[in-house]
A = this chain, B = another copy of it.
């Protein structure tokens, strides 16, 4: 009979299970061999019957042995040549670090409203436990959708009912959803230059898209009309990356384009409209559209933190049912815990306070950067433009340089910067300065480096 020596390093059941398994894997116990009865083996090994039974049951459940009623246990047919343990390859992730990153949209820890966020978290976790565990459909937590609807009405003059709002994990999630909604055969359009990520997502799904050029008023609707585009993505309140605001005449023309065909839709990405530095926010396309052809999209990436992945879509009323029907099988990808926290954060006025505080703080930071720029030798080599809205502006170098070489050499010095050409524009020495997270103390040092490299051309 099979005989094993037990140690005290593991339970007897586990040891017996492993001994028998090894015998099967090695071939010591062969297919259709009968195992000893539980009682016989227990007696033979001087262990309890229950130990043998548990080991047998485990082997049985994993399929190493099979049982025949009123007969006993037998070894299964196991072809094991692909089964063996292996070591994984350990390969640490390489990361280049930058002491100055003009391409980052992250925010300083000192700016995140940790105090109210923490207070609300505690409240939500202690007072709203049943709600936190309630199943949510595609659209997300009702309370957050109500809070966003109220916010949109008060601060953006957008009047919608919470049913029209869908919560999601940022704009990347929504692009995927919209591709599924409008179909992989639809033709999409995007601004060029524009968000690189949308292009990447369209390519990842192999959907057809047209790149529509922009002029000083934003997307060229005449160029759009010459394409087969059905769904166009635009950033009218603050074009990314040039910073252009689309004037009302162009907006009307774009709405006209959409209104003449039922399949045409405009995706209005209002990504950083909260941070307009002059005047009040512009009325959104969504709020002035009478033909229900605009889908409004916004996220809390810029206004709260890029690591809180919450955004929302506002649908024209007539699409609400179609979305719910088409996507009945999806669940909102955002944790209900943070949705409830954010709902309180907005409806108790913290979001408004935070935005106002940040707007002031960013305005001060922007002004400080402009002052330092103007007082630095770099001011004689370039100029800054589109500084009135959002959290980035443009730096144009006015003397001849090699754009890619310039970026590459800055990278070697630990400075990350992107040019308009990184977003599809023609190659020109125009660079994007994202300033929300840069360290002002290192700004002159970064300008020094730039000047040093510029002077070598």
Q: Which residues of A are interface residues toward B (Cβ below 8 A)?
A: 14, 54, 57-58, 61-64, 76-93, 104, 106-109, 112, 114, 117-118, 121-122, 125-126, 129-130, 132-136, 159-161, 163-164, 169-170, 172-173, 176, 180, 184, 196-197, 200-201, 204-206, 217, 245-253, 255-256, 259, 278-280, 282-283, 287-291, 305-310, 317-318, 320, 326-327, 329-338, 388
Contact = CB atoms under 8 A, between A and B. Distances in A.
A307 B335 contact: yes
A331 B306 CA distance: 10
Contacts of A163: 90-93
Given A90-B163, A169-B169, A126 B133 contact: no
Given A245-B61, A307-B136, A333-B172, A256 B79 contact: yes
B79 A106 contact: no
A62 B283 contact: yes
Contacts of A114: 125-126, 129
B307 A85 contact: no
Nearest to A87: B159
State the majority secondary structure of interface residues on A. Answer: loop
A255 to B, nearest CB: 4
A251 B63 contact: yes
B184 A91 contact: no
Contacts of A331: 170, 172, 306, 309
27 contacts: A62-B282, A63-B250, A64-B248, A76-B247, A76-B249, A79-B256, A80-B252, A82-B288, A83-B252, A84-B290, A85-B287, A88-B161, A106-B134, A106-B135, A108-B133, A109-B132, A118-B121, A121-B121, A133-B307, A135-B307, A136-B307, A200-B329, A201-B329, A309-B334, A310-B335, A333-B333, A337-B338
- Closest A-B pairs by Cβ, 7 of them: A63-B247, A169-B333, A307-B336, A89-B317, A200-B329, A63-B248, A109-B129
Contacts of A57: 278-279
